[in-house]
Amino acid sequence: METAERVAVGILAGGQSRRMGRDKALLTFDGRTALAIIAEEMRDFPETLVSAAEPGRLGSLGLPVCRDEHKGIGPIEGIRRLLETAKAEYVFVCAVDMAFISREAVRALARRICPECDCYVITRGGVPEPMCAIYSRRVLPVIERLISQGRYRPREIFRECPTLSIPLESSGLDAGILMNINTPEDYEKALQAYRARQEALTTSQGSTM
């Protein structure tokens, strides 16, 4: 079995979007939600799941939605629920506002899967990015222990589990994969970047015809 075929994709959509002022899961890019864009990008993987505090607000993309059980503790609960729900041995986790995440990022991490590690995470400036990481289902007991201890920061997982870090700077991946949206200003920048990318793609396709 190809390594990537052992990896599900989990999209965290449970944030409260306080700084944004509206639900980030429903932000649109020329008529398509970020959630729909990510789901389409990850269509080659065997499973795509969504973690949400209130599943009913997401509409229907035909994706399984797992609901948070521990409320108000942040993304560590979403990671727990995705790992608990997925059929796959590993889950790649990203946030719903990461509209530029790519399947290449998942594959780059998946290629590094080995018996010695349980987590595989992109780092930027030496700092791990928990929303761009693959987690083994073996870390579930660790996450449950962290939650019971009130340690809710996802980076705690990497301190407790064997982790392989992949620096973004030397990965060959587009730095835009880590772009996320926290404020209306971030959204405007993301819209501009999205439209520029679509225009470049259209131009590139036209030049090959």
Which residue matches tokens 């990510």? 38
On whether the CB atoms of residues 80 and 147 are closer than 8 A, the answer is yes
> In angstroms, how far is CA 23 from the centroid of its own chain?
17
Question: How many domains are there within the chain?
Answer: 1
The domain spanning residue 138 has which CATH number? 3.90.550.10
The yes-or-no verdict on residue 19 having pLDDT over 80 is no
Please enumerate in sequence order all residues whose Cβ is within 8 A of that of 206, keeping only pairs 6 or more positions apart, or say none. none
**Structural domain harbouring 184:** 3-207
pTM of the predicted structure, to 2 decimals: 0.90
Name the pLDDT band for 61 (thresholds 50, 70, 90): low
Name the pLDDT band for 208 (thresholds 50, 70, 90): low
Closest CA to 101 of 2, 11, 8: 11
- For 75, list phi and psi in degrees, rounded to 5: -65, -20
Name the pLDDT band for 161 (thresholds 50, 70, 90): very high
